[in-house]
Structure 1
Amino acid sequence: MRILHTSDWHIGRSFHGHATLDALRVVLAALTEQVREREVDVVVVAGDVFDSATPSADCYTLLTEALAGLSDAGAQLVVTSGNHDSAARLGFQSALLRAGIHVVTKPEQVGTPITIHDDHGPVHFYGIPYLEPAIVRRLWPDVRSQQQALTQAMTLIRADLAQRGGRSVAVAHCFAAGVEPTPNLEREIRQGSLDVVPMTVLEGPDYVALGHIHGRQRLSDRVRYAGAPLHYSFGEGGKPRGSWLVELDASGYASAEWLDLPVPRALTTLRAPFDELLTHERFADVADAWVCAQYTDATPQLDTMRRLQARFPFCATVMHTPEGVPAADGRTYAGRVRDARSDVELFDAFLVHVRAGEGATDAELEVIRDLIGEHALAEATA
């Protein structure tokens, strides 16, 4: 059996204020073509189908198109809800879908597999929706953490599998021990070490398809994260986008192959003085990329986004990250003002305070002297 493991579509998520639906549509179309070309039997989507518990109508339209396209390509689907999804809304959608598209959103479904057959017999797919401890406690009163919830779920799965026998796949959305999450991206579903799921908890199935981490990760041959199909932050820029093509033979796990997905628009982070960002030829080849611009001037520049977008139309964020800023001397602004011996020095003290230690330039001092002189002349003739 050929299984395509994907996750974290986050339909409806924006990228620094820019809509991503059209880009995601392109990527999911490429994934659908891979399913057709590779004759995939089952597509597994391991949670966070939507980015919001209240997705827009356009998000539902894209999901319906994607699932129908994958089904038309010849695959059955097993989809679980993640911490971003509304389990109730995603579950309602499942009742409207065609045969062969299975959506698991209720904790009551844990331990009851979706069984799909191939030439070697049955393969049992155990979907584990995101298990919020406060919600599943009505079923499992002792659960106080994600770790405990996943432990209970896998206990039910292993018990059911012991009776049924055969090959199996588990699908879950969690932090597993050993993962490297993308900084500032995955919204927390953990509280300290209690919600990191040990690898021993995931023992039993022939393959465990995980979601929640947005980068590809292999924790073992049979436990993997596929990551998100799009880049949703500049922190992900260097990570490939794609999915795992997993093969099960008659005895269980046989192999896994990474299938790359297209990146509709590359991400790049540029760091240089502001004028250099605007003019240097070495940045010419990233004019069509999403750009995170970090300018290193000692002082903030004016109208940075508009000026940068004139060269980089897809500049998405601008950061002031100064280099060579003088170390703070510990003096307060009040102290600088007291030490000023003239109006010109008073201006300079203000600039030193608000510009991280950089006082007035020679040109600025000339302007200040002119202004002070004109003001003094106006007062004298008033």
Structure 2
Amino acid sequence: MRVLHTSDWHVGRTFHGRDLLAEQETVLTGLADIVTNDRVDVVVVSGDLYDRAVPSAEAVGVCGRALRRIADAGARIVVTPGNHDSGPRLGAFGEFAAAGGLYLRTAVSDLDRPVVIDDHHGPVAFYGIPYLEPEVARQGLGLPELRTHADVLGEAMRRVRDDLGRRPGTRSVVLAHAFVTGGEVSDSERTIAVGGVPHVPGGVFTGVDYAALGHLHGPQTLANHLRYSGSPMAYSFSEARHHKSVWLVDLHSSGLADVERRTLPVPRELAVISGELTEVLVDPANDVHEDKFLSVELTDRVRPVDAMRRLQARFPHAVHLEWRPAGGHQRPQRYPELSQRRDDAEVACCFVTDTRGAEPTETERGLLREALAAVAGKEPE
């Protein structure tokens, strides 16, 4: 059997305020081509199908079309929710979806009830372990003494192994959404530290042929049978160097045989550049970045006025801006102390100087005085 391991689709996510639905649909519907070209039998999604517990109608539409394309290409699909998903909403109409080859394993009570799919070697059991927040999961597991992520996931895997032990000769794949020790994080993952230390040891996943992990957005191999596929697209500039991909997992008669990487298309590249604003705007070397999502670090001594608008005139997809003046910028002012020995206009002017790196002009000083007078209900001096 050939399995395509994916996770963290995050359909509906934005990138610094930019809508990504078109780019997401391009990448996700393209998974159907891998299914066709590599004769994939089952596609798994290990959590965070959506970016929100209540996704928009547009996000649901994109996700539905992607799943339909994958199914039409000949694969069955197994999905479990992540920390961004709502398990009950995702699992609605799950019994009906299964009739069309889409299996939703979204409830704690179902984590040891596998989806069993046969090939010519026999059955393969797919266990979906949804994201287990300890406070909620310990109640669902009926064991209130469990406290940590490692506790609840350890109990989940114990139940999986118990069920697998009653299925002699059955190969196994576990879908789990968790932060496994040794994984490398990026800036776009939401913390799962609520409810205790978020890490779980990789040894929890012993006794199964393959563990398809989700949550971390970079593709990673923790052991041959224990891998993160990562997100299909970059969702933060910390992922600019990631090579987004999915894992192609082959199961033979005795278990795991081989795992190969299949890289995914990049609908819009990411880049980070730095320099003074005028230099960034005129440097011909930056021509290659004009169609990329761009993060710009400005090193001007004085914070440039209207910098983002000027950048976007040349780089339409500039979405992030930081001001880091060369040599650093000291912020020595302590405003509670200043307010005790200066009038409001002086404090306001000092604030402008401190945050921009240059004193306000006479026109700006006049505007500040007028604003302060308006707040006080007086005529400006």
Displacement after TM superposition at 1:134 (Å): 2.1
Q: Which amino acid aligns with 2:264?
A: L
1:289 is aligned to 2:280:
no
Which structure's CA Rg is the greater one? 1
Aligned twin of 1:174: 178
CA contact (8 A) 1:352 1:358 kept: no
3-state SS of 1:159 partner? helix
Identity over aligned pairs, percent: 41
1:152 aligns to what?
Answer: 155
Q: Is structure 2 residue 246 aligned with structure 1 residue 222? A: no
Match of 1:376 in 2: none
Note if 1:200 corresponds to 2:199: no
In the superposition, relative to structure 1, how do residues 206 and 354 fare at CA in structure 2: closer, same or farther (>3 Å)? same
The aligned length equals 357
- Report the aligned-residue RMSD: 2.8
The yes-or-no answer on 1:55 pairing with 2:59 is no
1:245 aligns to 2:248 (yes or no) = yes
Give 2:4's aligned residue. 4
- Residue 127 of structure 1: how far off its partner (Å): 0.8
Instruction: Report the equivalent of 1:35.
Output: 35
Is the contact made by 2:134 and 2:195 (CA closer than 8 Å) also made in structure 1? no
**Paired residue for 2:114?**
113
Gaps (5+ residues) in structure 1? 339-346, 369-382
Aligned counterparts of 2:95 and 2:351: Cα–Cα separation in 1: 65
Instruction: Find out whether 1:265 has 2:268 as its counterpart.
Output: yes
CA contact (8 A) 1:326 1:357 kept: no
Paired residues for 1:50-89 under 5 Å? 50-89=50-89
> Partner of 2:271: helix, strand, or coil?
strand
- Amino acid across the alignment from 1:173: H
Distance 1:148 1:48 in 2: 22
> Residues 140 and 308 from structure 1, CA distance in 2 versus in 1: closer, same or farther, beyond 3 angstroms?
same
Normalising by the residue count of structure 1, what TM-score does the alignment of the two structures yield? 0.86
Using the TM superposition, give the Cα deviation of residue 328 of structure 1 relative to its aligned residue in structure 2, in angstroms: 6.8
Deviations 1:45-84 (A, max 9, x none): 0000011111111122222211111111111111001111
Letter in 1 for 2:308: M
Kindly provide the amino acid, as one letter, of the partner of residue 116 in structure 1. I
State the one-letter code of the partner of 1:354. Answer: T
What's 2:376 paired with? none
Cα offsets for 1:5-26 (capped at 9, x unmatched): 0000011111111111111100
Question: Is 1:354 the counterpart of 2:361 in the alignment?
Answer: no
Which amino acid counterpart does residue 226 of structure 2 have in structure 1? V
Q: Deviations over 1:255-293 (max 9, x none)?
A: 111101101000001111111111111111110000001
Partner of 1:124: 125
Q: CA deviation at 1:190?
A: 2.3
Is the CA contact (8 Å cut-off) linking 1:269 and 1:291 kept in structure 2? yes
- In structure 1, the residue corresponding to 2:166 is in which secondary structure? helix
The runs of at least 4 consecutive aligned structure 1 residues that moved more than 3 Å come to: 191-194, 325-335, 350-353, 355-361
- The secondary structure found in structure 2 opposite 1:164 is coil
Please name the residue that 2:370 is paired with: none
Instruction: Give the direction of change, closer, same or farther, for the CA distance of 1:130–1:328 in structure 2 (3 Å limit).
Output: closer
Q: Is the 8 A contact 1:107 1:128 kept in 2?
A: yes
What TM-score does the superposition give when structure 2 sets the normalisation length? 0.86
Query: In 2, Cα distance between the equivalents of 1:325 and 1:77?
Result: 52
1:342 is aligned to none
Greater shift, 78-87 or 323-332, is seen at: 323-332
Tell which deviates more after alignment, 126-135 or 40-49: 126-135
Residue 293 of structure 1 contacts residue 319 of structure 1 at CA under 8 Å; is this kept in 2? yes
The CA deviation at 1:239 is: 0.5
Shift of 1:138: 4.0
| Distance in 2 between residues matched to 1:66 and 1:194, nearest whole Å | 35
